[in-house]
Amino acid sequence: MPGIEKLPIEETLEDSPQTRSLLGVFEEDTAAISNYCTQLYQAMQRIYDAQNELSAATHLTSRLLKEYDKQRFPLGGDDEVMSSTLQQFAKVIDELSSCHAVLSTQLADAMMFPITQFKERDLKEILTLKEVFQIASDDHDVAINRYSRLSKRRENDKLRAEVVEDVYTSRKKQHQTMMHYFCSLNTLQYKKKTALLEPLLGYMQAQISFFKLGSENLTQQWEEFLGTIGTSVQNVRREMEEEVGQMQQTIQEMERACDALYAPCDPDPAHSPVSRNLTRKQGYLYIRNKTGLVSSSWERQYFFTQGGNLMQQGRGEVAGGLVTDLDNSSVMAVDCDDRRFCFQVTSFDGKKVVTLQAESRKECEEWISTINNISRRIYLSENAEELAARVNQSALEAVTPSPSFQQRHESMRPTSKGRTGRASSISSVGSEPSPALSVLSLDALVAPETPIQFDIISPVSEENSGQSKTAPQSSRRSNPFGESGESTAEDSEDSILHQLFIVRFLGSMEVKTAESADVISETMRQILAARAIHNIFRMTESHLLVTCDCLKLIDPQTQVTRLRFPLSTVVQCLSHQDNKRLFGFVLQSASGRSDSRAMCYIFESNNDGEKICDSIGLAKQIALHSEMDRKAVEKKKEEDKAKEKQKEELSKQRQIEKDLEEQSRLIAASSRPANPPGSDGQFLVLSNSQSEDSDAGEEGKKKGL
């Protein structure tokens, strides 16, 4: 039997929308099982009724056969052979009627009883638990709403104690009911197998015992099959009993362990301190929605962070919706007139403000710390929690002015020396490089004081300014990387490779050499360090289209090509050694290898950077093979053209030789003397060929004249 799907009892206390969605799937499955079992029960009831009818009809047939002798037939009433034969048939059919009666009893016990028990007891128990759980859930929602509306004033402590006790009681009742409801639904996954297999097993065994098949092979086959099914049913029943025991034990442990978590008040800070190093968090919060100019309402929703976004999800919803973007946002605790434990999230542009309420002070502080960490984009690091702890410890130092960038970023430099990932990108550009890279990276790879472009700008050659002065009439600017402002249709339509990737532009800078294997890594380090120093967190998102002709950066909103890089200018492409989402490529000037200028572009992708580099390498290979095929075709065309030209010259030469031969033959025929008369006074008659030759000779002479 395959594995059994089950509901997680451990997550009943959290009662998240994901758990509710999974519960909805199990409830739909229960409804489908109930509908199917009802139909199957009706079909089996018809079998049972038909078997009872068959048994009664067989008994009636036997009784009628026995009464044959008492019939007074006008003709043939004294046939003793017929009478004795029918009596024998009556005896056999009477025995068969007894077998049918036994079969009816076996069907009632082995087929109808299990499916009736499953339909009337197990399914109804599930429905009852569902109603009880719904009532407990509604009571808990009412209690938690009353608790959330408590005033901050401490005038009525008795009312506050009653509300807290009500929340405790309703939450405990909901949790316990939910655990038992989950246990029953998980058990149903086992029971539905036995409820379907046991009636069929009883039906087949009753039929086999009734017919008493004479074929040993067939009997053995059925016995082996039924034996296998019987063993499987026993195994499922055994697994069900073990699982029920484990679930009951889990329920008992959860009831003991979660008793202190039912109360909404803050737990003991000594046992549960506030965690300020989180980069992900989820839980129920109240959100304030404006209902008018001055009025507002609060709604309880399930909130969770996903990457750099704050999401919300209601009960019964399949997926969450975006609330606000947390990148570069600000968060602070606020004092609301009617609510406690409130905090406010403001987007980076200040256009959207979200006010939320947590259940306790601890939850409020943890949400604020988590959103602060996400706003700093710490979640993109490999060791996010470790970096968050380091940043929080040095928060005071980070906002204190330093004498220089060198001293400020020396304190933020990571302790690891061999890695060049995102964590090392916060080191200062002005700091001294390591001895291994002191000469290579700064002198041979990247020109000193090279400007870094953090926005997507089409690269223009340095000679443009001079050309614009000397030739003002030319309104089109030259591009050393072969880029064009006009879109060409053959770039993408005729290409056999089309791969699209979502990338974010980090920066670009001019490098001294395009052949070195370390130029991309050094450029990554300097661009990331510059971003950290100048607090540049915004990145331009684009679609990178890789074809066999070029690389294109396309605006995802307008589908306009921002940059176009001919594939022939791409010298090398490399991903980061540690952070695989970082990659870059180096472009050589379109003027050729003699021009040493090159530009290195650095990007961050949602996918693995190695896949993008492999795609670019595949495009270059396809382009190389296409160029080789094109040259081979052109060479073949030139050879065919040369052969055709040679053939035409040979044909002309043959025509000239033929004309010369014909002309010489005509001249020879025209130079013969006139035909003398014969000795008998008669003239000689020329043959047709001779006359034709003479005529042709005369015509040739005329043409010559």
Q: Render 325-337 in DSSP notation, one character per residue.
A: E-TT-EEEEE--S
Give 672's DSSP letter: S
Say how many residues make up the chain: 705
Give the per-residue pLDDT at 458.
Answer: 47
- Is the residue at 168 inside a domain? yes
Regarding whether 203 and 116 lie in a shared domain, the answer is yes
H-type helices in 67-152, by residue range?
80-107, 113-117, 123-148
pLDDT tens digits for range 540-582: 788 898 988 889 998 888 888 888 888 888 988 988 887 788 8
Q: Report how far Cα 61 is from the mean position of its chain's Cα atoms.
A: 69
**Residues of the chain whose pLDDT is less than 70?**
1-4, 76-79, 81, 92, 154-155, 212-226, 229, 260, 265-271, 391-449, 457-495, 533, 535, 537, 589-596, 672-705
23 and 149 belong to one structural domain: yes
How many domains, the chain? 3
125 belongs to a structural domain: yes
Are both 213 and 291 inside the same structural domain?
A: no
595 lies in some domain:
yes
Q: Is 209 part of any domain?
A: yes
pLDDT confidence of residue 584: 92
CATH number at residue 157: 1.20.1270.60
| pLDDT > 90 in the chain, percent | 8
Whether residue 523 is found in the same domain as residue 611 = yes
The DSSP result for 64-90, as a single string, is: HHHTTTT---SSSTT-HHHHHHHHHHH
CA dihedral 556, 562, 568, 570 (to 10 degrees): -80
The answer to whether residues 298 and 209 belong to one domain is no
Same domain, yes or no: 118 and 204:
yes
Instruction: Establish how many alpha carbons lie within 13 A of residue 514's alpha carbon, considering only the half-sphere containing its beta carbon.
Output: 22
CA–CA–CA angle 87, 88, 93 (5° rounding): 95
d(CA 24, CA 32): 12
End-of-domain residue from the set 345, 366, 382 = 382
| Token duo for residue 136 | 């407990």
- Measured in whole angstroms, the distance separating CA 476 from the mean position of its chain's CA atoms is 44
Residues 277, 373 contacting (CB under 8 angstroms):
yes
How far apart, in whole angstroms, are the C-alpha atoms of residue 266 and residue 274?
Answer: 11
Contact between 71 and 53 under an 8 Å Cβ cutoff? The reply is: no
Question: CATH number of the domain that 335 lies in?
Answer: 2.30.29.30
Enclosing domain of residue 111: 17-71+79-217
Classified as helix, coil or strand, 556 is coil
39 and 145 both lie in a single domain: yes
> What does the alpha-carbon distance between residue 584 and residue 504 come to, in Å, rounded to a whole number?
11
CB of 568 closer than 8 Å to CB of 585 = no
Domain final residue pick, 344, 360, 382: 382
Q: Same domain, yes or no, for 83 and 203?
A: yes
Neighbours of 363 (CB within 10 A): 20
Question: pLDDT at position 2, please?
Answer: 55
Q: Is 399 a domain residue?
A: no
Residue type, 307: G
Q: Is the same domain home to 205 and 307?
A: no
Q: With respect to residue 614, please indicate whether it lies within any of the assigned structural domains.
A: yes
Q: Determine the Cα–Cα distance for residues 408 and 410; give it in Å rounded to an integer.
A: 6
**Neighbouring residues of 651: CB distance < 8 A, sequence distance ≥ 6:** none
Q: 137 in a domain, yes or no?
A: yes
| Same domain flag for 374 and 508 | no
End residue of a domain, out of 349, 382, 415: 382
SS (H, E, C) 183-206: HHHHHHHHHHHHHHHHHHHHHHHH
* Same domain (yes/no): 309, 203: no
Q: Are residues 313 and 189 in the same domain?
A: no
456 part of a folded domain: no
